[in-house]
Structure 1
Amino acid sequence: MGGRWIEKWEPEDETFWREKGERIAKRNLLFSVFSEHIGFSIWSLWSVMVLFMGPQYGIDPAGKFFLIATATLVGALIRIPYTFAVARFGGRNWTVFSALLLLLPAGFAFAVMEPGTSYTTFVLVAALTGVGGGNFASSMTNINAFFPLRKKGWALGLNAGGGNIGVPVVQLVGLLVIGTAGAMHPRVVLGVYLPLIVVAAVSSALFMDNLAPVKNDTGAAKEAVRARHTWIMAFLYIGTFGSFIGYSFAFGLVLQTQFGRTPLQAASLTFIGPLLGSLIRPVGGSLADRHGGARITLWTFAAMAASTGVVIYASVAESLTVFLVGFIGLFVLSGLGNGSTYKMIPAIFLAQGHRKGLAGEAAEAYGRRLSGAAMGLIGAVGALGGLGINLAFRQSFQTAGTGTGAFVAFLAFYAACIVVTWAVYLRRPAVVPETAEGAEEQETRPGYAKV
């Protein structure tokens, strides 16, 4: 795949952006969203497949939670190499390849999805779907390079949100199949996605571009690993994206296990939260562009803690209606937080460039280098939060028969995210410097409240 290569790319140059760059960037964004959308659908495939797995499969709720946890784990870990693949092979070329790779998990699932298949086989096939989770990292790294800083919140939010919608869409397909063909025909879902995977690959080949200036920078990768802000943002992203993907994978199974919903009843509710969380992600990015990602992130975590309190009450009171209100609220808020946290990453590293004494294009280049290198790691660690959520549910249901204990743990984590966001990015200096040198040092301190 030689592909189409663009040798010169300067999105911060307003003339270049207006005359040429914006049109190309938006075209690549459109087809990136489509391919990533299919990737997310395949990654979350087993959140749907477990709804088809009735008593004849011989798998208990803990076993089903482990299946979706396996998909989450592989999807999280594979994000790291996917991040660097864009610079190594080209954004267009890697999008084509990674889309075609989705044929493996979809095809194998089509082959094995029937009673009598061993549990080990199901685990291995669920692990294969993790390649769909990797698509997010390569897609976000690629689109981050196409857009100027002032547009990144919107572009990254739209790219991620359009991809995230793959979760509720595959769940809606599952609902349609269960409601029409019945819970005995999971292969129909896979029959829908196999041709869509091919369409995504062909569209990417025809309409996307590779950016020659985007190169892997080993030094940037090492610096990003050493940077404390990489790990702080990874921690916060566990709270936002980890919540979104973990809840998306587990929602239907929680409804079946804790509230005794049938597959059709669970499927008719499962898609609502992921859909709303996906649609609102670009709003989180746009709000962060206007008001600062740190502020939006702080208030989002505060609201997530409140929603978790509602869910805990509903879980104890066994009120499905209140539970749905609180849980769907968590989806919406996690979507907002996904947009605001991802907007923070390039802005934080731009501020770090200014702190090092850089200005203008030099600071912007530093910010692009470090944020591009950090995004894959942050995305991978954040997705591991989804693994934690699924394992917490598995343990909670295994020991107490309810998800209440897991939600208490999530509440404590959101409280920690509130403290970290405030302490690192919003707290003001306590004293006024007494010397000119101190004033200069304070002036060069990154304005994290605006990131």
Structure 2
Amino acid sequence: MNRDGFLKSGHSPSLLSSFLYFDVSFMIWVLLGPLAVVIMNDYQMDAAQKANLVALPILGGSILRLVLGFMTDYIGPKRTGQIGMIITMVPLVWGWQFADSLQELHIVALLLGVAGASFAAALPLASRWYPPQYQGLAMGIAGAGNSGTVFTTLFANRIAEHYGSWHVVFGFALIPIVVVFLVFSLLAKDSPNQPAPKKLKDYASILSQKDTWVFCIMYSVTFGGFVGMANYLTIFFNTQYGLSAVRAADFATICVIAGSFFRPVGGWLADKFGGIRMLFVLYGVVGIMLACVSSLPPLGLMVGLLFIAMMGMGMGNGAVFQLVPQRFQNEIGIVTGIVGAAGGLGGYFLPKILGNMKLTTGSYTPGFLILSGIALACIVMIMIVQIGWKKSWIGQGGKALTQDTLAS
């Protein structure tokens, strides 16, 4: 990769702003994941209820990504991001000062989905500044903002334990989002290449295209797997291995780091070797690792297996979004919202699958086997669809065609 070419081809302040916005939003989006282990000391919940609490923010994010994706195409990603951050402050204030029942926490959880919807504005803000040959890296860097999850799993339960209250964690979360809002407002700039807003019927036509749904399925497994695991692993380690709230979150952090920081690597490798090739390998790795996890091995081995699985999911996120902007360059805002919503839905169902199977069978094994089967099924799907892709918009070896290649 030509480093100087990459730096000169886009707008670095906007790329940084996109990363920071995504990072702090992700941190807030998954706040209830590790905190659930602390919250259940105040509200007794069974396995399914705990899974539901941590899944609700992901559901909210899935739905609202469609809204923010639509706004991104109409008013631009910068203004959409500013509005998103202001609204995100509402559930933080509510959780800090007012939430005193499980029912109120469910409302706060859904409203935290606004933070998860940041995806639909942050990625187009970065993507529209960069040419096709740098899409994988640019989207990978912006998407690495999911590293905000690490701050949540590492510090949320420690803060709650230190102050003797999980409410105060919501108050602390207000500090970074206010800072990022100011930085974002100063540095971010909409690309001059932003396409003209489409009509609603144009967006409906996107949903009628098979490729849209293929990307939705792929991303629901990679991103959905990552965010679902990130939200649920603290509960899993606490329940399965009897770890304390802080210790369970620490082990979850180790696994989350893999999915967070390897996303740009996935985008870069997809630029180099092709998104299709990368996804074949990554879905295989994830499927095999989850099958091994289903045996519920000793803690040390379990962390290693989940680390590799989460790394594969993170790299898969970068690989999927190396392809998406090439296929839907002029509709990237709404497509990002649609595909991101599908990813969120995957993250919503993952905790539900694990929690419900644990409640029903008394073991996590069936749940992990189901997840493994879904990942491996994606390989079969890609084998089928890539035949048509190579005839239309994919080049040799699964690399997305650039505009220069198409012109030649």
Distance in 2, matches of 1:123 and 1:200, equals 26
SS at match of 1:420: helix
Residue in 1 aligned with 2:60?
74
CA pair 428-32 structure 1, distance change in 2 beyond 3 A: closer
Match for 1:401 among 348, 353, 362?
Answer: 362
Q: Does 1:143 align with 2:94?
A: no
Distance in 2, matches of 1:401 and 1:178, equals 30
Residue in 2 aligned with 1:92?
78
CA pair 78-445 structure 1, distance change in 2 beyond 3 A: closer
Distance in 1, matches of 2:139 and 2:356, equals 34
Letter in 1 for 2:135: K
Match for 1:369 among 318, 330, 335?
Answer: 330
Residue in 2 aligned with 1:104?
90
Q: Does 1:287 align with 2:269?
A: yes
SS at match of 1:335: helix
**Could you tell me the TM-score, scaled by structure 1's length?**
0.82
Q: CA deviation at 1:119?
A: 1.8
Distance in 2, matches of 1:127 and 1:19, equals 38
Match for 2:385 among 424, 432, 451?
Answer: 424
SS at match of 1:74: helix
Residue in 2 aligned with 1:217?
198
CA pair 209-21 structure 1, distance change in 2 beyond 3 A: farther
SS at match of 1:55: coil
Residue in 2 aligned with 1:433?
none
Aligned ranges for residues 300-379 of structure 1 at < 5 Å?
A: 300-313=282-295, 315=296, 318-347=297-326, 349=327, 367-379=328-340
Residue in 2 aligned with 1:7?
none
Mapped contact 1:178–1:263 kept (Cα < 8 A)? no
Residue in 2 aligned with 1:194?
174
Q: Count matched residues.
A: 395
Distance in 1, matches of 2:341 and 2:245, equals 31
Q: Does 1:176 align with 2:158?
A: yes
Residue in 2 aligned with 1:228?
210
SS at match of 1:102: helix
CA pair 446-153 structure 1, distance change in 2 beyond 3 A: closer
Mapped contact 1:310–1:322 kept (Cα < 8 A)? no
Distance in 2, matches of 1:336 and 1:428, equals 21
Moved over 4 A (4+): 17-21, 426-429
Letter in 1 for 2:371: F
Query: Structure 2: any 5+ residue segments left out of the alignment?
Result: 401-408
Residue in 2 aligned with 1:359?
none
Letter in 2 for 1:92: K
Residue in 2 aligned with 1:13?
none
Give the CA RMSD over aligned residues.
Answer: 2.4
In our comparison, the structure showing a higher alpha carbon Rg is 1
Mapped contact 1:283–1:336 kept (Cα < 8 A)? yes
**Could you tell me the TM-score, scaled by structure 2's length?**
0.91
Instruction: After superposing the two structures, state which structure 1 stretch, 380-389 or 206-215, moved more.
Output: 206-215
Q: CA deviation at 1:178?
A: 5.2
Residue in 2 aligned with 1:59?
45
Per-residue CA distance 1:99-151 (angstroms, 9 max, x = gap)? 121111111111245xxx32211111111111011101111122221111111
Q: CA deviation at 1:192?
A: 2.3
Q: Does 1:450 align with 2:399?
A: yes
Q: CA deviation at 1:19?
A: 12
Match for 2:249 among 252, 267, 270?
Answer: 267
Distance in 2, matches of 1:251 and 1:20, equals 37
Q: Does 1:380 align with 2:341?
A: yes
CA pair 178-270 structure 1, distance change in 2 beyond 3 A: farther
CA pair 327-426 structure 1, distance change in 2 beyond 3 A: farther
CA pair 251-118 structure 1, distance change in 2 beyond 3 A: same
SS at match of 2:117: helix
Letter in 2 for 1:296: M
